[in-house]
Amino acid sequence: MAKGHLNLVLHAHLPFVYSAREEHHLEERWFFEAMTDSYLPLLIMLERLEQEKVPYALTLSLSPTLLAMLEHPVLARRYEDYLQRLIRLAESEVSRTRGQELFHRLACYYRERLCVLHQIYLERYHSNITAGFASLAKNGKLELITTCATHGYLPLMQTNELVNAQIQVGLDAFAARFGYSPRGIWLPECGYFPGLDKILAENKVEFTFVDTHGLKNAWPPPQNNVYAPVRTPAGVAIFARDPETSSQVWSIQSGYPGNPDYREYYRDIGFDLDEAYLQRFLPYPVRIGTGLKYWRVTGNNLSKEPYDPWLALERAQEHAGNFHFNRERQIEYLAARQAVIPVVTAPYDAELFGHWWFEGPDFLESLLRKAAEYSDVYTLSTPSRYLDAYGCQNTAELFHSSWGEGGYSKVWLNPKNDWLYPRYHQAEKCLIRHAAALPKPDAEKKLLLNQMTRELFLAQSSDWAFMLNAGTTHQYATQRVLAHLENFSRLDTMISNGQNCGAELTAMEITGSDLFPVLKPQSFAPEQFSVLTCREAEPTVLMLSWEYPPEIMGGLARHVEDLSQTLAKQGQPVAVLTSRTGTTAPYEQSGGVYVYRLAPYQKAGEEIDFYDWVMQLNLLFFNLAQQIVSANNTMILHAHDWLVGASALELKRYLQLPLVVTIHSTEFGRNGGLFTDLQRKIHAQEQKLAEGADQLICCSNFMAHEVSRLFSVPLSKISVIQNGVMPEKVVARRLQGEERRKYADDKEAIIYFVGRLVREKGVEVLMRALISVLPVFPNTKTVISGKGPMLELLRRLATEHDVADKVLFTGFVTDEERNRLLATADITVLPSLYEPFGIVALEAMAAAAPLIVSDVGGLGEVVRHGSDGLKFPPGNHLALSAAINTLLADPLLRERLGRQGKERADTAYSWQALAKQTNQIYKQLWEEAQPALKAE
For position 642 contacting another protein by CB under 8 A, the verdict is no
Q: Which of 109, 356, 374, 809 binds another protein (CB under 8 A)?
A: 356
- Say if CB 416 and CB 228 are below 8 A apart: no
Beta-carbon-side half-sphere exposure of residue 212 (alpha carbons within 13 Å)? 11
Gap between the Cα atoms of 186 and 496, Å rounded: 36
Residue with smaller CB distance to another protein, 414 or 930: 414
Residue with smaller CB distance to another protein, 471 or 931: 471
For position 276 contacting another protein by CB under 8 A, the verdict is no
Q: Which of 3, 287, 801, 923 binds another protein (CB under 8 A)?
A: 287
Q: Classify burial at 349, counting beta carbons within 10 Å of its beta carbon; exposed 0-12, middle 13-18, buried 19 or more.
A: middle
Q: Which of 109, 374, 421, 777 binds another protein (CB under 8 A)?
A: 421
Q: Which of 352, 482, 552, 674 binds another protein (CB under 8 A)?
A: 352
DSSP-derived secondary structure letter, 345 = E
* Sheet arrangement for strand 851-854: 807-811, 780-785, 749-754, 827-830, 851-854, 870-872
- Say if CB 922 and CB 810 are below 8 A apart: no
Residue with smaller CB distance to another protein, 293 or 638: 293
For position 589 contacting another protein by CB under 8 A, the verdict is no
- Say if CB 157 and CB 163 are below 8 A apart: yes
Gap between the Cα atoms of 281 and 267, Å rounded: 19
Instruction: State which of positions 2-61 bind another protein (CB under 8 A).
Output: 13-15, 30, 33-34
Residue with smaller CB distance to another protein, 159 or 876: 159
Residue with smaller CB distance to another protein, 402 or 723: 402
Residue with smaller CB distance to another protein, 289 or 875: 289
Residue with smaller CB distance to another protein, 515 or 833: 515
> Which residues have a Cβ under 8 Å from the Cβ of 317 and sit 6 or more positions away?
362, 363, 366
- Say if CB 852 and CB 887 are below 8 A apart: yes
Q: How far does Cα 542 stand from its chain's mean position?
A: 23
Gap between the Cα atoms of 74 and 18, Å rounded: 9
Q: What is the CA radius of gyration of the chain?
A: 38
Gap between the Cα atoms of 918 and 912, Å rounded: 10
What H or E segment, with its residue span, contains residue 346? strand 343-349
Residue with smaller CB distance to another protein, 408 or 911: 408
- CA–CA distances in Å: residue 795 to residues 358, 756, 783, 875: 90, 15, 12, 19
The partner residues of 209 in beta bridges, in order of sequence, read 239
Closest CB 362 distance from another protein, rounded Å: 17
Residue with smaller CB distance to another protein, 25 or 400: 400
User: Among the candidate windows 583-591, 602-610, 823-831, 908-916, which touches another protein by CB under 8 A?
Assistant: 602-610
Instruction: State which of positions 116-175 bind another protein (CB under 8 A).
Output: 155-156
User: Among the candidate windows 259-267, 310-318, 335-343, 628-636, which touches another protein by CB under 8 A?
Assistant: 259-267
For position 401 contacting another protein by CB under 8 A, the verdict is yes
The partner residues of 396 in beta bridges, in order of sequence, read none
Q: Which of 112, 486, 612, 890 binds another protein (CB under 8 A)?
A: 612
Residue with smaller CB distance to another protein, 644 or 703: 644
User: Among the candidate windows 130-138, 256-264, 742-750, 857-865, which touches another protein by CB under 8 A?
Assistant: 256-264
For position 618 contacting another protein by CB under 8 A, the verdict is yes
> Which residues have a Cβ under 8 Å from the Cβ of 197 and sit 6 or more positions away?
232, 233, 234, 235, 236, 238, 398
> Which residues have a Cβ under 8 Å from the Cβ of 350 and sit 6 or more positions away?
10, 11, 12, 13, 38, 39, 42, 60, 61
Q: What is the dihedral of CA 79, 84, 89, 92, to 10 degrees?
A: 170
Q: 3-state SS of the chain: helix, strand, coil percent to 5?
A: 50, 15, 35
Q: How many residues bind another protein, per CB under 8 A?
A: 90
For position 418 contacting another protein by CB under 8 A, the verdict is yes
Closest CB 626 distance from another protein, rounded Å: 8
- Say if CB 469 and CB 417 are below 8 A apart: yes
For position 408 contacting another protein by CB under 8 A, the verdict is yes
Residues in contact with another protein, shown as a per-residue x/- string from 201 to 220 under the rule CB under 8 A? ----------xxx--xx---
- Say if CB 479 and CB 468 are below 8 A apart: no
- Say if CB 360 and CB 248 are below 8 A apart: no
Q: Which of 7, 59, 409, 579 binds another protein (CB under 8 A)?
A: 409
Instruction: State which of positions 60-99 bind another protein (CB under 8 A).
Output: none
For position 267 contacting another protein by CB under 8 A, the verdict is yes
Residues in contact with another protein, shown as a per-residue x/- string from 450 to 479 under the rule CB under 8 A? -------------x--xx-xx-xx---x--
Q: Classify burial at 96, counting beta carbons within 10 Å of its beta carbon; exposed 0-12, middle 13-18, buried 19 or more.
A: middle
For position 785 contacting another protein by CB under 8 A, the verdict is no
- Say if CB 509 and CB 451 are below 8 A apart: yes
Gap between the Cα atoms of 626 and 31, Å rounded: 44
For position 610 contacting another protein by CB under 8 A, the verdict is no
For position 833 contacting another protein by CB under 8 A, the verdict is no
Helices H / strands E in the chain, number of each: 37, 24
Angle at the Cα of 502 from the Cα atoms of 496 and 504, rounded to 5 degrees: 90
For position 399 contacting another protein by CB under 8 A, the verdict is yes
Closest CB 418 distance from another protein, rounded Å: 6
Gap between the Cα atoms of 18 and 26, Å rounded: 10
Terminal alpha carbon distance of the chain: 80
Instruction: Look at the chain and count its residues.
Output: 936
Closest CB 467 distance from another protein, rounded Å: 5
Residue with smaller CB distance to another protein, 100 or 630: 630
Gap between the Cα atoms of 90 and 96, Å rounded: 9
Closest CB 847 distance from another protein, rounded Å: 40
Residue with smaller CB distance to another protein, 390 or 421: 421
Q: Which of 55, 220, 391, 422 binds another protein (CB under 8 A)?
A: 422
Q: Which of 233, 321, 407, 526 binds another protein (CB under 8 A)?
A: 407
For position 347 contacting another protein by CB under 8 A, the verdict is yes
Q: Which of 233, 235, 283, 289 binds another protein (CB under 8 A)?
A: 289
Closest CB 348 distance from another protein, rounded Å: 6
Residue with smaller CB distance to another protein, 298 or 924: 298
Q: Which of 96, 137, 223, 265 binds another protein (CB under 8 A)?
A: 265
Residue with smaller CB distance to another protein, 602 or 799: 602
Closest CB 546 distance from another protein, rounded Å: 14
Closest CB 183 distance from another protein, rounded Å: 22
Closest CB 795 distance from another protein, rounded Å: 33
- Dihedral sign for Cα 617, 618, 619, 620, please: positive
Gap between the Cα atoms of 832 and 672, Å rounded: 12
Q: Which of 90, 167, 411, 921 binds another protein (CB under 8 A)?
A: 411
Residues in contact with another protein, shown as a per-residue x/- string from 675 to 714 under the rule CB under 8 A? ------x---------------------------------
For position 302 contacting another protein by CB under 8 A, the verdict is yes
Closest CB 463 distance from another protein, rounded Å: 5
Q: Which of 654, 733, 816, 930 binds another protein (CB under 8 A)?
A: 654
Q: Which of 91, 349, 397, 538 binds another protein (CB under 8 A)?
A: 349
